[in-house]
């Protein structure tokens, strides 16, 4: 992704206005203002999203794609309008390429089990990186067991960047798919996905990008990166839980068999034979999270109004400040030093285990994550059991980073 250092971060007034949009940021935790630094796990929701979900249930609720009655028509229109919003957000060519799921994890499982079951043969290779979240590892292990395909791992260097030239050694005519995170949840590494996709396509391999962390942090353009599959979760993008998106290039999606069977995904059903619905409905069996999807549209429009390039610049400024401040502490070690980093910094402090650090930071209202972050292979590779992780969102402030650093003093008081 290109550098966006020319885009200005937010002014104090702008940031204040943004914070006022998020009711949860007004919470007192342990008698102190909440400093929510766990955005890589999930983001808080702006009032527009919360209200849209409530308004749907109050005045728009019906099932979609079924009834001929008034409310059903309204619900269907709202649901399909949200799909169009997602299409524009991703710059996909067609709404047929946008599948709603229950989250990024289900999106990846859908690809592994539908595309993977059809196209993977014994001895075929699936390439994953050392940076992957469990949700971009385990679905591939499951399908590898079923098909006889083999997993290969793209290693990282000492900075937690993907090993230069690592892909050259892994790619061969046996490589059928490369599954790679856009932004690593454990280290904040931004992977050069455009170049990776081009290289994989030249070698005849498909590419799935796990965009769980990237969707809220950097502008996305499916035409620019030329992705085959791109997966994301609404709840990490200021939207509701229980909604995800899977983008699949139409020519690829057309060849994929249904993932789950049920209502909405069929055209005709008899006990002898079922014919399937058009794209993307063939992959949306059962009643979807209609209210969630409708509210998710508000989340996308929210970040679009602010501009993802500005959100990126804001988070970059905060992250650089956090990395610098943490590295200035002699007993603190930040994990990795990636060339391009977005919104996430993990660290260790000598005197205390990450869980104890998180409990003590919580006592002053600072919410961070501790543990392996669903990154057990990465932790093993780094020779550690876990980290404390701060991850930023559109509404975080430098003061909150300072409170985190201040909190480390309390950790030392207790543990030294």
Partner 1 sequence: MTFEGELSDLYQQVILDHSKHPRNAGSLDSANRRAVGHNPLCGDQIVLMLEVKDGVIADVKFQSSGCAISVASASLMSEAIKGKTVQEAELMFRKFHEMLTGACDTSSLGKLSALSGTREFPMRVKCATLAWHTLEAALNNPNQTVTTESDA
CB 176 within 8 A of CB 120: yes
Residue 340 or 359 with smaller CB distance to partner 1: 359
**What is the C-alpha end-to-end distance of the chain, expressed in Å?**
43
Active-site hit among 104, 160, 200, 374:
374
Nearer to partner 1, 121 or 380 (CB): 380
- Please pick, from the candidates 337, 363, 405, 412, the single residue that binds partner 1 as defined by CB under 8 A: 363
One symbol per residue from 295 to 334: x for binding partner 1 (CB under 8 A), - otherwise; what is it?
----------------------------------------
Residues in contact with partner 1, counted by CB under 8 A, come to a total of 19
Quick one: DSSP state of residue 324? Answer: H
Give the C-alpha separation, 357 to 223, whole Å: 43
Among 8, 17, 54, 414, binds partner 1 (CB under 8 A): 414
Calpha distance 271→248 (Å, rounded): 30
**Contact status, residue 227 vs residue 209, Cβ threshold 8 Å:** yes
Q: Closest approach of Cβ 148 to partner 1, in Å?
A: 28
Tell me how long the chain is: 416
When asked if residue 72 is in the footprint of partner 1 (CB under 8 A), the reply is: no
Query: Is the CB of residue 277 less than 8 Å from the CB of residue 266?
Result: yes
Q: Which stretch binds partner 1 (CB under 8 A): 67-75, 100-108, 179-187, 350-358?
A: 350-358
Residue span 372-391 as binding mask against partner 1, x where in contact by CB under 8 A, dash where not: x---x--x-----xx-----
CA-CA distances (angstroms) from residue 399 to 19, 98, 209, 366, 376? Answer: 13, 39, 34, 11, 32
From 257-265, 278-286, 366-374, 395-403, span contacting partner 1 (CB under 8 A)? 366-374
Region binding partner 1 by CB under 8 A among candidate stretches 110-118, 332-340, 371-379, 390-398: 371-379
Q: Report the alpha-carbon distance of residue 225 to residue 208 in Å, rounded.
A: 11
* Nearer CB in complex with partner 1: 117/379: 379
Q: Does 356 bind partner 1 (CB under 8 A)?
A: yes
**Of 370, 388, 391, 396, the one binding partner 1 by CB under 8 A:** 370
d(CA 238, CA 253): 27
Among 88, 93, 118, 355, binds partner 1 (CB under 8 A): 355
Binding track, positions 15-34, relative to partner 1; x by CB under 8 A: ---------------xx---
Cα–Cα distance for residue pair 44/237, rounded to 1 Å: 9
Could you tell me the CA-to-CA distances from 102 to 126, 217, 231, 266, 286 in Å, in that order? 24, 21, 11, 19, 11
> Is the CA virtual torsion 324, 330, 334, 335 positive or negative?
positive
Q: Does the active-site annotation cover 374?
A: yes
Give me the least distance between CB of 376 and partner 1, in Å please. Answer: 7
181 and 373 Cβ atoms separated by less than 8 Å: no
Tell me the angle at which helices 308-327 and 398-415 cross, rounded to the nearest 10 degrees: 30
Contact window for partner 1 (CB under 8 A) among 18-26, 219-227, 334-342, 347-355: 347-355
Residue 46 or 365: which CB sits closer to partner 1? Answer: 365
Q: How far is the CB of 358 from partner 1 (least distance, A)?
A: 9
Binding-residue pattern over the window 31 to 50 for partner 1, x denoting contact by CB under 8 A:
x-------------------
Q: Yes or no: say if 139 and 108 are a contact pair by the CB < 8 Å rule.
A: yes
| Nearest distance from C-beta of residue 35 to partner 1, angstroms | 15
- Residue 286 backbone phi and psi in degrees, to 5: 85, 170
352 binds partner 1 (CB under 8 A): yes
If the CB atoms of residues 115 and 347 are measured against partner 1, the closer one turns out to be 347
Q: Is 360 in the site for partner 1 (CB under 8 A)?
A: yes
- Which residues are CB-neighbours of 218 under 8 A, at least 6 positions away? 1, 182, 183, 190, 308, 312, 342
Bridge partners (DSSP) of residue 38 are: 391
292 binds partner 1 (CB under 8 A): no
Report the Cα 195 to chain-centroid distance in Å.
20
Residues taking part in catalysis:
374
List interacting residues with partner 1 (CB under 8 A).
Answer: 30-31, 352-356, 359-360, 363, 370-372, 376, 379, 385-386, 414-415
């Amino acid at each position: 992704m290109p550098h966006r250092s020319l885009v200005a971060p937010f002014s104090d007034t702008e940031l204040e206005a943004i914070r006022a949009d998020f009711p949860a940021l007004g919470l007192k935790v342990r008698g102190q203002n909440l400093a929510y630094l766990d955005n890589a796990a999930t983001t808080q929701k702006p009032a527009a999203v919360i209200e849209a979900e409530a308004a749907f249930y109050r005045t728009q609720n019906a099932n979609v794609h079924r009834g001929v009655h008034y409310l059903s028509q309204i619900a269907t229109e709202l649901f399909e309008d949200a799909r169009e919003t997602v299409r524009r957000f991703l710059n996909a060519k067609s709404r047929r390429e946008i599948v709603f799921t229950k989250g990024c994890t289900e999106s990846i499982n859908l690809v592994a089990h539908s595309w993977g079951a059809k196209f993977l043969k014994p001895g075929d290779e699936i390439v994953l990186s050392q940076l992957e979240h469990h949700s971009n590892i385990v679905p591939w292990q499951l399908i590898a067991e079923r098909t006889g395909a083999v997993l290969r791992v793209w290693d990282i260097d000492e900075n937690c960047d993907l090993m230069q030239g690592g892909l050259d050694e892994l790619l061969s005519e046996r490589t059928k798919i490369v599954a790679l995170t856009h932004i690593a949840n454990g280290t904040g590494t931004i992977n050069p996905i455009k170049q990776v996709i081009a290289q994989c396509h030249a070698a005849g391999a498909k590419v799935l990008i796990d965009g769980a962390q990237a969707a809220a942090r950097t502008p996305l353009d499916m035409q620019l990166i030329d992705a085959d599959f791109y997966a994301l979760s609404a709840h990490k993008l200021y939207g509701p839980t229980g909604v995800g998106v899977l983008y699949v290039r139409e020519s690829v999606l057309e060849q994929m068999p249904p993932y789950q069977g049920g209502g909405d995904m069929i055209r005709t059903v008899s006990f002898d034979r079922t014919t399937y619905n058009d794209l993307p409905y063939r992959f949306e069996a059962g009643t979807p999270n209609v209210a969630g999807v409708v509210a998710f549209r508000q989340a996308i429009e929210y970040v679009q109004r602010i501009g993802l390039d500005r959100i990126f610049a804001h988070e970059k400024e905060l992250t650089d400040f956090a990395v610098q401040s943490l590295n200035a502490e002699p007993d603190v070690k930040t994990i990795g030093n990636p060339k391009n980093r977005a919104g996430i910094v993990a660290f260790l402090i000598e005197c205390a285990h990450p869980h104890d650090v998180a409990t003590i930071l919580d006592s002053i209202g600072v919410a961070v994550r501790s543990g392996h972050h669903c990154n057990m292979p990465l932790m093993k590779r780094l020779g550690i059991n876990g980290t404390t992780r701060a991850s930023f969102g559109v509404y975080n402030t430098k003061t909150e980073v300072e409170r985190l650093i201040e909190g480390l003093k309390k950790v030392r008081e207790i543990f030294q």
